[in-house]
Amino acid sequence: MSQHSGSDPEVAEERSGPKTERGRRTLRRLLDAAGEEFGARGYHDTAISNITQGAGVGLGTFYVYFKSKEEVFRALVADMGARTRHAMTESTRGAHDRLEAERLGIQAFIEFVRSHKALYRVVMEAQFVAPEAYRDYYRTFAAAYRQQLAQAASRGEISEGQDDEVRVWALMGASSFLGIRYGIWDTETDAGSIAAAASDLMINGLAPRVGKDKAPK
């Protein structure tokens, strides 16, 4: 198609991934614009022209990087996952142990969602628009999380899990709904206090706690 090639200055970039700094900046603009548009309008009401206008590029440039609206949507879900994992990694880098990392990670996740509100709409919509991308989003998180918990257990920082897979998905589920409740619906409550309460539950559970003056039965 003539509109996809020819005079556009970005056509030298290959679909396998941009090899120049200019190409990487263009791809970043496209993904950021896609996030804004899909987050505000939803998948079905977003047109490719909305994305290109938001990114400040021509239609031909879009097709250098993506074949379709569905392809950019899938790429956006993967990109959001990568950016979220990076934010979590940075937030826990200075943690003394895994238990502190859990608390810092919850706080950082809530703060990340508050500043990236399109994240939840895009990811939730992905389960219907791009189911495999939706599953991969969480599977990738789970794989990295499982490895982190296994390493922490080997260092004696946390207990060995009876079923690491269940433990990982339970913790991820808690964080996901905390993100909805305190990242989307309530952006005023102190994220540190929320993280402290959630991590207390993770560390101590729901079982009654023995007071200083009571001996365990």
**161 or 35, which is more confident:** 35
Percentage of the chain with pLDDT > 90? 81
Average pLDDT over every residue of 75-92: 94
Average pLDDT over every residue of 58-82: 96
Average pLDDT over every residue of 83-87: 93
Can you tell me which residue has the tokens 């996809």?
4
Domain with CATH 1.10.10.60 in the chain: 2-67
> For residue 161, what pLDDT band results from cuts at 50, 70 and 90?
confident
- pLDDT-wise least confident of 2-11, 68-77, 110-119, 197-206: 2-11
- CATH level 3 topology of 71-204: Tetracycline Repressor; domain 2 (1.10.357)
Domain with CATH 1.10.357.10 in the chain: 71-204
pLDDT at 212 over 80: no
pLDDT (0 to 100) of residue 128: 95
pLDDT in tens, 51-64: 999 999 999 999 99
- CATH level 3 topology of 2-67: Arc Repressor Mutant, subunit A (1.10.10)
User: pTM to 2 decimals?
Assistant: 0.82
